[in-house]
Structure 1
Amino acid sequence: MGRGRIEIKKIENNTNRQVTYSKRRNGIFKKAHELTVLCDAKVSLIMFSNTGKFHEYISPSTTTKKIYDMYQTTLGFDLWSSHYERMQETLKKLKDSNNKLRREIRQRVLGEDLDGLDMNDLTTLEQHMQDSLTVVRERKYHVIKTQTDTCRKRETIHQLEKKFGMVENEGGYESAIAYSNGYI
């Protein structure tokens, strides 16, 4: 008695789907191997599971690169050169962006390379510099305030230690607490 037909649709249960994938993957690898042996065919099989795992089968006498080269020759399309062209375009865009950023740094930080700027560009650059100066000043004043507050706290602690006769390294904070609570 043969097996019944199953409806071909996505298996909703994750565990069942993974088990089916694993079994069928092994079956398709077996078929690819048989095709290679029986027909002397060059077979390359690449699969990605829904969990992102990579599985491949390549005929024993060949490599993935050879298969890609045969594929490109058959199609009359060069995958490598198109990929290289895209990489060259990306490199050009990155170089342009880098040059633009370097020019902005020379203009903002060093005040150089201003000859090609018109009135609007100069006004915009001036506004950016004023905004940056405001941010730097705010940070500077914050640091000064923090340092001043820290110095004041240290001075207050030092005065309390003098007032109550405490010396550093002879109890410190715990001694001050004990003294203030009346235990000493």
Structure 2
Amino acid sequence: MGRGKVELKRIENKINRQVTFAKRRNGLLKKAYELSVLCDAEVALIIFSNKGKLYEFCSSSSMGATLERYHRSNYGPIEAHQSPDNEQEYMKLKARVEVLQQSQRHLLGEELGQLGIKELDQLENVLDTSLKEIRTNKNHRMLNQLSDLQQKERNLLEINRALRSKLEGTSAALQSTWQLQPAEHNVQYQQPPPILSDMFFEPLHSNNIRYNSVEPNNVAGTTQTANMVLPGWMH
């Protein structure tokens, strides 16, 4: 049997309506995908349920790009169809930007020929005020840097003082040690002279000593005679 014709009207039964929505939504998304693949078409599908839930499909990389293409295709460029209020706001912002750019050029010393005496005086006052603020800021930063450097100097002096005190203490300890060492090493022990035994001495006998007159010409004979007369241990 063939499928009966479905009457197109709102389904009153809530459950049947939800089931039909789910089936036909999935079928529609499937058809959109098949159309984009088979026919190489750019397809964008947007579905909102009755509760506001979004379901979408886009064959391109971005839904926004497809919508912008759709807008250009139907209405032309977006800028050409701005509302009058937006156009006026745009013109005001554009004029303000041009004024600011011109003021910047004047501050840089450019395009001053078209200015009168009054405008030049105002520009000079603006530059003086800016220069004063710049100098004030510069002096403030320099004072801060000077204060930091002075604090660093005080810290370094404290460290130097502590190191010097430590070095002086170490030097004093070493000096006291050096003064004690010579006294300890230079101690001389006094010992009595050794007693010589009588065996080292040989008695002298007066009968063996002879005194002879020595002539100048008989020096050699006298030396020989003396050697003969003296004891053996005195040779």
* Structure number with higher relative contact order (C-alpha < 8 Å, ≥ 6 residues apart): 1
TM-score bin, normalised by smaller chain = 0.3 to 0.5
TM-score with structure 2 length normalisation? 0.38
